[in-house]
Every structure is written in structure tokens, then in C-alpha cells.
Chains A and B, each alone.
Chain A
């Protein structure tokens, strides 16, 4: 039996007057991969950013409703977003490596949180994270080069390595394979599957096949509404809503 990791009730998000998320209620399960699918601009990224309070950094953004993680309201006054984000990691839609060395990019989180206390352990964490993000082979001889000197797809994997190096309980991935070739994509999907045994993973993707391959649960968003949420196999074989059916069969985008 899997438990609810993050419970969302009647969540509304506004950017100024723009009502970007409309009354969304959804339970994200522990030890499960949940896929968010839906047309561009429907609010997938926006909703994802609610789960680690990254929307706090946008001054025009307003959120109402309840989001509980392990039963605790993450928007409560007593909750420090800094501590929350250490538990809920995120990979952004656009790769954003720091202008530091590849090594320092990955070591950044573990250093800040004091996860390791000596250089050898840190080296190990960095190596393991880069290996799991399927980029170790490409960068192992150039760990001192700048992270920004990598290609787009390499940067994307570096950011994944950076996110998993802090060992979060929940990992939010916003289109983590959008710039990857089929081989790297397969490796990232393998990583996601492996992470599922310990963590809860939420992935935004525009690839139906990817959603079908890696996720157990799928939520379909459309113009700020969460139209349908259920087992991935159900959503893809037996959608209830006409809009879901149209989207997964490619009748609108």
C-alpha cells in the first residue's frame, strides 16, 4: 500500500489577474512516479512549482488552498521554505547550471546541507550523482570545467545530478529529457524508475510514450484545470474525459 506524500486540496494559483491553476485537488503518492501532461501553457510548471514553494520568488503569484506534505501544511507560517526545498528537489524546464565547475555544481547542495564531512565522501557523492544522471562518462575528465560550457542536453543531465545529490524525498522534474537523445533519455528514465523505490517523483512531459513508460499515475491538465487523474494505464487506454482522449490521441495540442 502506498501512502499519500503530498495532498493538494482546492489549489488555485493566480499571476496577477491570470488564473493559472483552477481548483486542483490531487494526491501525489509516495514511492510512485506521477506524470503531469497537458498542452503548453496549461499550468503544469506552475503547479509543480507550488509543491516546493518556488512560486514564492514570483511577486505577482498568489496561491490559495491547502498543500500538505506528510500531513503538514507546507504553506504554514511555521514552515521554512528553505528546509522544505531541501526535501523537495527540482529540475527546471530550462537547464540552469551555475557558472561554476561541473564538480562544484553537483557538490553545491551536499556542501550547503553538510551532508558529507570530508572530501573523499564529497567526491563519492559527486561521482555517484553524475553516474546516476548518465553523464559521468562524458565529464569525468573535465570536472573542473565550467558547467555552462556543456551542451544543452549535458547541462540538463548536470542539473539532474545536482538535484539528486542532495537526496530529496520528492523530486520534481520539469521536462527533464526535452533536450536528450534516445540513449540519454532511456538512461534518465531508468534513473527515474530507480528513484521510485525510495522517493516520490513528479515528472512533467510532453511525450506520451515517456509518460506511459515511466509513470504509474498520470494527471492531465488543460487550461488550468486538472481534468483527469488516475492510473497511467487507465488514462492512456480508457480516458473518461473527451479532452483527455483528444489530447492523448493527438487531436489537439
Chain B
């Protein structure tokens, strides 16, 4: 029945679209040039009104849940009434285009508003929960930021946490170390692959490799995760043994390497797009001066593409910081403050997962989890602001 009602709204909207259109044409005595707005705008204006009123009525009606027949009658009746109202008094001078455009602008604005409001809502809940958590710590934010011990749930007394056990330094260091390892691998390989693709590969190779990269970039990270845990980690350990190095079976190195491999396709695919969009005329200009291909790429193409390349790298960093699955499987869960990449570490995102999925009461675990999330949010925010600054500075210098 709801479906039928919805269908009737669309049908009415289409009906009034045509009705208005025809009325507009007849108002102009068949000479379109007499009209302020083209007939289709008159139609669009009626269509939008009927549709919006109908849908709004349907949504409100569904919440109130009257009898289906009543709902149908009210919705269809309202829609039709609005439709008649919009078709009334159509003259050649009616500014239907301006009115319809105003409605469309409103719709677009509302869609943008939904996105912004959701974001604001999420941020507010983060701030709120973090505030509560810090309050329960007696505002020992210093212990939270710089404490070296993370085991929030083990020192619980009546649901109140011990500030000495909620130091996120080990998580911070773990996150940064894994991200650094990942970028050390992904940044050069991704960039060089992009340069090869855009400057050296033939059309045919490019036509093959580019879609493959995009598919690779879409592989779920769980798959990479057990690749890391089952293949890479043991391999590293055995290699370490060979050289007398002690590499734990779960290590920052294993997770970092695999995350690096995971983000290579996205970095190279993005960087390739950016390098490709550098105009051919710049390359020609350089070559015509007797520059070699290498000189042209290094001194003209890359600098011109630098802001975009930087954004591609940043996307890689964001993905590495936010990566959870691979770390859980390959780097461990124990908070362990170390600068040694051969040892097990854990990251902020992993600890959030542990808190939320653990046996502890959700309301107790929510505090530290939200605080971690808020910290992560701040880190990525700062990163993005810095990146935007850098990009803008380069734009000014190089565009």
C-alpha cells in the first residue's frame, strides 16, 4: 500500500508536469518566445511541488501510522491540491524558471546540510564523551597523553579508571611507527610506479595495469591481514633468525610492510592521474630546449604535479593511520611502548576495537574508546590542515 501511495505521488507529479507545460504553451498562444520561462520549467515547478509535498506527507503519515487507505487518500489529496495550486494562474510572465531553480537550490542545500550535520553530530558526540571521560580521570589529561601504560580495564574500581593506566603513548608510538614503515614502502614505490605508468608505459600496458591497480585498491583489508599474519610475519621471523635478529611473530614491521603494499595501488593510481594531467605542452617545452626525458620529468613534470602527488601521499597516510584489520592480525594487541619495529605493538584503532568488542560493559568501555577516537580525529585533522597549507603554498609558487 505504501508502495502504491508512493507510485501515486510520482504519477500525480508527472501529470501536473505535463498539465503545467501545456498551460504555459497555451498561455503564450503557441509562441514560445512570448514566455518568460520555457514550458518545461513551468512543468518542473509543478513537479517539484507535488513531489516534495507528497513525499513529506508520506513520511509524516508513515510515522503516525493511520489506516493505509486513509494515508493514501490524504497523501494523494494533498499532492493533487498542491498541483492544482501551482497550475493556477500560469501566464506568459510567470517566473517559473526562477522559482523552480530556487526549489532545486534548496534541495541541493538540504543534501549538503545532511552531510555537514552528520559530521557535526559525530564530532559533538566525540567531544562530549571525551569530556566525560576526562572528568572521570580528574582532568589528568597529561597522564592520558603522555602516560606510558595502557590497560584501562584492568585497574577498574567501581567503574572508575586509574589515570596511571590510560596512557596512550604506546598506542601513539605504535600507530606512528606502523604508518612510517608503510609510507617508507608505499611512497617511493607508488610514485615510481605512477611515473612509469604515465611517462614510459605504452598505451596498451597502461590500459591493462591501470584497471588492475584500481581493482587491487578495492581488496578488503582482511585479506591483506591474513596475508600479513600467515605469510609475511613467519617469513620475517625466519629471515631474522638467519641473521641472528629476533623478530617477534607479531611485529610492527610485518604490519607496516603489508599496509605499505596495500596502499601502493591507491597512491600510484592517484599520482598517475595527477601526472597525466600535466599538459603535454610543458613536456614539449622542456624537450624542445634539449632536455632529456629524465630531466623533463624531474624538473618540470613532477614539480607541476607536486600538490596532487602530495595529496595522494596524504591519502596513503590517512589509510595507514586508520588501518585496523592488518594490525590486529599482524602486529598484536598488547600495548607495548617500544621503538623497535621487530616487536609487537598496537595502534589506536585496534584498541578501540578491543574496548568495544571486549566483555566489559559498553558504558564503561565507551569513555576510553571515544577519547581514543577523538585523539585520532585530532591527529588526522592536524595532518589535513598541514597538508592543505603545503598544497596552497605550492599552488601559489607554481601555478
- A residues with CB within 8 A of B: 52, 54, 57, 59, 82-87, 89-90, 92, 94, 96-101, 108-109, 112-113, 146, 148, 159, 162-163, 166
Q: Most chain-B CB neighbours within 10 Å: which of A85, A101, A163?
A: A85
**Is B98 engaged at the interface, CB distance under 8 Å to the other chain?**
no
A54 with B287: CB separation less than 8 A = yes
**Is B354 engaged at the interface, CB distance under 8 Å to the other chain?**
no
Digitize B269-292: 1 where CB-to-A-CB distance is under 8 Å, 0 elsewhere: 000000000011111111111111
Q: How far is the CA of A159 from the CA of B288 in the complex (A)?
A: 11
Please report which residues of chain B, range 295-329, place their CB below 8 angstroms from some CB of chain A when the two chains form the complex: 295, 299-300, 303-304
Q: Give, as a whole number of angstroms, the nearest-CB distance from A125 to chain B.
A: 13
Choose from B280, B282, B289, B303 the contact partner of A109 (Cβ within 8 Å): B289
B279 with A96: CB separation less than 8 A = yes
Measured between beta carbons, the chain B residues less than 8 angstroms from A108 are 286, 289, 291, 299
Q: Give, as a whole number of angstroms, the nearest-CB distance from B49 to chain A.
A: 48
Q: How far is the CA of A86 from the CA of B290 in the complex (A)?
A: 4
Q: How far is the CA of A97 from the CA of B282 in the complex (A)?
A: 7
B285 with A112: CB separation less than 8 A = no
A147, closest chain B residue (CB): B398
Choose from A54, A82, A97, A98 the contact partner of B292 (Cβ within 8 Å): A82
Choose from B280, B281, B289, B304 the contact partner of A112 (Cβ within 8 Å): B289
Digitize B382-399: 1 where CB-to-A-CB distance is under 8 Å, 0 elsewhere: 000000000000000111
Tally chain B residues at the interface, Cβ within 8 Å. 23
A145, closest chain B residue (CB): B397
Measured between beta carbons, the chain A residues less than 8 angstroms from B285 are 92, 96-98, 159, 162
B304 with A98: CB separation less than 8 A = yes
B290 with A96: CB separation less than 8 A = no
Q: Give, as a whole number of angstroms, the nearest-CB distance from A98 to chain B.
A: 5
Measured between beta carbons, the chain B residues less than 8 angstroms from A101 are 397
Decide yes or no: A99 and B303 within 8 Å by CB, A94-B281, A108-B286 being known contacts.
Answer: yes
Measured between beta carbons, the chain A residues less than 8 angstroms from B280 are 57
Measured between beta carbons, the chain B residues less than 8 angstroms from A57 are 280, 283-284, 287
Q: How far is the CA of A148 from the CA of B288 in the complex (A)?
A: 18
B278, closest chain A residue (CB): A99
B306, closest chain A residue (CB): A99
Digitize B188-210: 1 where CB-to-A-CB distance is under 8 Å, 0 elsewhere: 00000000000000010000000
Q: How far is the CA of A139 from the CA of B303 in the complex (A)?
A: 22
Sorted nearest first, the 3 A-B pairs with minimum C-beta distance are A86-B290, A96-B281, A90-B288
Q: Give, as a whole number of angstroms, the nearest-CB distance from B38 to chain A.
A: 38
B289, closest chain A residue (CB): A109
A100 with B289: CB separation less than 8 A = no
Choose from A52, A84, A85, A146 the contact partner of B399 (Cβ within 8 Å): A146
A–B complex contacts, Cβ < 8 Å, 19 sampled? A52-B288, A54-B287, A57-B280, A82-B290, A83-B290, A84-B290, A85-B289, A92-B281, A92-B288, A94-B281, A96-B279, A96-B285, A99-B282, A108-B291, A112-B289, A112-B291, A162-B289, A163-B288, A166-B289
Choose from B284, B292, B399 the contact partner of A148 (Cβ within 8 Å): B399
B290 with A112: CB separation less than 8 A = yes
Choose from B203, B290, B300 the contact partner of A113 (Cβ within 8 Å): B290
Digitize B245-289: 1 where CB-to-A-CB distance is under 8 Å, 0 elsewhere: 000000000000000000000000000000000011111111111
A85 with B303: CB separation less than 8 A = no
A100 with B398: CB separation less than 8 A = yes
Choose from A85, A98, A146 the contact partner of B300 (Cβ within 8 Å): A98
Q: Give, as a whole number of angstroms, the nearest-CB distance from B304 to chain A.
A: 5
Q: Give, as a whole number of angstroms, the nearest-CB distance from B198 to chain A.
A: 14
Measured between beta carbons, the chain B residues less than 8 angstroms from A148 are 399
A96 with B287: CB separation less than 8 A = no
B288 with A85: CB separation less than 8 A = yes
Q: Give, as a whole number of angstroms, the nearest-CB distance from B277 to chain A.
A: 13
Q: How far is the CA of A192 from the CA of B390 in the complex (A)?
A: 42
Q: Most chain-B CB neighbours within 10 Å: which of A54, A96, A163?
A: A96
Choose from A89, A92, A100, A162 the contact partner of B303 (Cβ within 8 Å): A100
Decide yes or no: A99 and B399 within 8 Å by CB, A54-B284, A92-B284 being known contacts.
Answer: yes
Choose from B279, B284, B288 the contact partner of A89 (Cβ within 8 Å): B288
Measured between beta carbons, the chain A residues less than 8 angstroms from B398 are 99-100, 146
Please report which residues of chain B, range 57-92, place their CB below 8 angstroms from some CB of chain A when the two chains form the complex: none
Measured between beta carbons, the chain A residues less than 8 angstroms from B203 are 59
Decide yes or no: A98 and B282 within 8 Å by CB, A85-B289, A166-B289 being known contacts.
Answer: yes
